[in-house]
Chains A and B, each alone.
Chain A
Amino acid sequence: MAAKRSFKGGVHPLKRMHHGKILSENSAISACSVPDEVILPISQHIGAPAVPIVAAGDRVDMGQKIAEAGGFVSVPIFASVSGTVKSIEACSTLSGRPCDSIIIENDHEDRLSGDIVKPVRLAELSGQQIIDIIKEAGIVGLGGAAFPTHVKLSPPPEKKIDTLIVNGAECEPYLTADHRVMLEYPEEIVRGIKAMMKALNVKKAIIGIEANKRDAIDAILKYTHNENIDVTVLRVKYPQGAEKQLIDSVIDRQVPSGKLPMDVGCVVVNAGTAYQVSLAIEQGLPLYERVVTVTGAVNQPSNLMIRLGTPLSHVISHVGGFSGDVAKVISGGPMMGVSQQDLEAPIEKGSSGVLALTHKMAKATRESDCIRCCKCIEVCPMGLLPFLIDAHSNSNDFEAADKDSVFDCMECGACSYICPANRYLVQSIRLAKAELTAQRKKEKQ
């Protein structure tokens, strides 16, 4: 194994607390209790919302398809419990936007759907068949973005793909879900990777894992002998798992502005997604539950296998409730996660973590004037000038923000994290992007 690889920029949040991961990294994946009612939003992925194929009053089995993909860039949704469809109505979601959701009353029988049949062995499947199985299992990127995996695996023919990169970086502080999946299901992950290599017709796959997950690296290495699968040890640094930074770290290729990984010959999937792919192919299981790290100011920080649609309130009570005076609840990690107003929203396909922060941990900060220390430039993994974009945005000069490449920002939060003046850099960058997008929409009309 070569020296630890990395990218330029980045930060080390919560380094002294082992990046917050110490709370849950040693807790083995356990099943979360199942609620009496699950709420399944029809849009849990990037792309067109799924179209419900059940109606109120219908009896459904666990793993039964309840909503059909709404287009090519879309995936179906499956019942995560057996029971009766109660209603289809708009419910609050983790993103904060309400979304039509299928609510199922749980009969607690966990009757597995008859549709789930074991398909043939991997060797007998063609690349296209593998992609179809992945699509029909409703699989999306489980790292957080929830982009349909079958779309990633179907690049246009003119894009020559030579490498599949598997993201096992899990650079967000506090989160340990991918770590545990890699540690506990290394064989399945490797088999999932082999299936996706076949689907993409590539000869090489590389798994990038941050150096602080030594046990997961060793576990995976046990199963990669005699395969064209390498493990690359990455420096522990945030955002090591950001797609463009990961590709840069692992194979020294930089995805240009506005381009996609396939433009530099690779496809990136999350390690947890690889596990899900193996379940779909070997056991015919669709995506109706996932591993989520529930951590921070809760009584038993854990990595839980949670049925999709389980409300946050149920998840929090499963881990013994909050410990201490919780100020913020975040879906995802502390750097890019979305803060929650209440605990009504359900766990969905893209949920990687639920994090409770006390007043002390989430110290509310007040902005002061920029001192031009340029630490934001130093840490920006995209080579941007966050403090300048902030200044443009605050003076409503969005065109200038555009010129300074505001759209290249992926909102990783490294700049806001490091800023000694506590400037709300990411927030004003988001504002500039939203304003510019709205302006362009107007111009088109």
Chain B
Amino acid sequence: MDKFAMSSSPHVRASESTRRIMIDVIIALLPATVCGVYFFGIDALWIILVCVASAVGTEAVLQKLMRRKVTALDGSAALTGLLLALNLPVMAPGMLWLPFVGAAFAIAIVKQAFGGIGSNFLNPALAARALLMVSWPTAMTTWTMPVDAVSAATPLAALKYGGDALSPYLDMAVGNVGGTIGETSAIALIIGGLYLLIRRVIDWRIPGVFIATVALFTFIAGPEGLFTGDALYHMLGGGLMLGAIYMATDYSSAPMSNTGKIIFALGCGILTSVIRLWGGFPEGVSYSILLMNLVVPLLDKAFKPKLFGTSRRRAKFKGVTE
């Protein structure tokens, strides 16, 4: 008699996989990556390659050393490397040790030390960026103006400190302004975001609420009194699109329930606006996401999905017998 494979149901599975999701996010980031290399030159490409290679390499070496299954090629480390690169300013090839240190830190300390994929409570790329910011602040905040390669203020710095001319909206939309490699082209980032929404890799809640909160907050708390802010400038400037669409949505450092996601994104938006308007830095997306990452365990505890049969709808039927 034939013997067949025995297994627990279900016997069919969706064609999704961890790698497919990671590749989807990398695909979504391609337009922004191309824009970054186009505007910031070939040096940007080197930074991206170093970040990706050292992230994947660090993960492989560590997993080998810890005798765990090597999953360095599942796309997740590569994505962390790419995200870190997109969060760095362009710098001379002599400085390439800095992206290397950042990527190795992101994977070794932020991701693997806490248990690997799915267990990190901070976004690895953002935590690495924060480390580099406090360790090498000058290198991390020397912004090179695209194309003509002269130092210049970012749009948000121009807004905050004055002195420099504000950037035109069109330049901010396409990415022809100062900033990190991947954050400047709002249009490219939004195109990638739409792809992720269609592929259902992310849902609208975190990016939608995050961006809307920043827009609303900066519009209300304008420089010349209430409702005089330039919301569009704040939406297009700085790292909001990159942060809201690609960083705050990181699976392992975002809340699990829909209510949790909305509160998380609201917190990110408020913190970003507060830092931008009244804080010591012109930009606050990275720090606000990191701060809100720390609140996620609380949000997960407080807002669990509603168990079936406990919603208000049940009250509709008067005859329910307890």
Q: Which residues of A line the B interface, CB within 8 A?
A: 11, 13-14, 158-160, 162, 173, 244, 248, 252-257, 259, 263-265, 313, 326-330, 334-344, 355, 357, 361-365, 368-375, 377, 380-385, 405, 408, 411, 413, 416-422, 424, 426-427, 430
Contacts and interface: CB of A to CB of B under 8 A. Distances in A.
A159 B322 CA distance: 10
A256 B309 contact: yes
Instruction: Specify which of A336, A362, A374 lies most central, judged by the most chain B CB atoms within 10 Å of its CB.
Output: A374
Interface in B1-25: 1-14, 16-18, 20-21
Contacts of A335: 9-12
Interface in B272-322: 304-311, 313-314, 316-317, 319-321
Contacts of B308: 244, 248, 254, 257, 381-383, 408
Contacts of A340: 4, 6
B11 A330 contact: yes
B9 A338 contact: yes
Contacts of B117: 369, 371
Contact of B21 (A248, A336, A373, A427): A373
Contacts of A411: 9
A372 B252 contact: yes
A363 B11 CA distance: 9
A343 B11 CA distance: 18
Contacts of B3: 341-342
Given A13-B14, A374-B256, A417-B12, A327 B307 contact: no
Nearest to B319: A265
Contact of B314 (A254, A265, A343, A426): A254
Contact of B20 (A328, A416, A420): A420
B229 interface: no
B4 A263 contact: no
B257 interface: yes
Contacts of A364: 5, 7
11 contacts: A173-B12, A253-B317, A335-B9, A335-B11, A342-B1, A369-B116, A370-B118, A372-B251, A377-B256, A420-B14, A427-B8
Instruction: Specify which of A14, A263, A357, A373 lies most central, judged by the most chain B CB atoms within 10 Å of its CB.
Output: A373
Given A257-B307, A263-B320, A371 B76 contact: yes
Given A370-B118, A418-B16, A377 B316 contact: no
Contacts of A334: 9-12
Contacts, number: 176
B7 A416 contact: no
Instruction: Specify which of B10, B13, B308, B311 lies most central, judged by the most chain A CB atoms within 10 Å of its CB.
Output: B10
Contact of A382 (B5, B307, B320): B307
B12 A264 contact: no
Contacts of B4: 326-329, 339-342
Nearest to A366: B69
B25 to A, nearest CB: 11
Contacts of B118: 369-372, 421
Interface residues of B, number: 45
B12 A336 contact: no
B230 interface: no
A258 B6 CA distance: 31
B42 to A, nearest CB: 34
Contacts of B317: 252-253, 264-265
A421 B5 contact: no
B251 A371 contact: yes
Contact of A339 (B11, B251, B304, B307): B11
Given A159-B321, A254-B308, A419-B13, 12 more contacts: A13-B10, A254-B310, A257-B308, A328-B7, A335-B12, A337-B11, A371-B118, A380-B305, A382-B307, A383-B306, A419-B16, A420-B14
Contact of A253 (B1, B8, B20, B316): B316
Nearest to B12: A334
B12 A337 contact: no
B171 interface: no
**A-B pairs, 6 with minimum CB distance:** A413-B10, A256-B309, A420-B16, A427-B8, A382-B308, A334-B12
Contact of A369 (B7, B11, B71, B307): B71
Contact of A371 (B8, B21, B256, B257): B21
A417 B307 contact: no
B13 A385 contact: no
A256 B11 contact: no
B13 to A, nearest CB: 6
Contacts of B76: 371
Contact of B12 (A252, A361, A405): A361
A276 B153 CA distance: 79
Interface in B238-288: 251-252, 256-257
Given A336-B9, A364-B5, A405 B21 contact: no
B168 to A, nearest CB: 39
A253 B309 CA distance: 8
A344 to B, nearest CB: 7
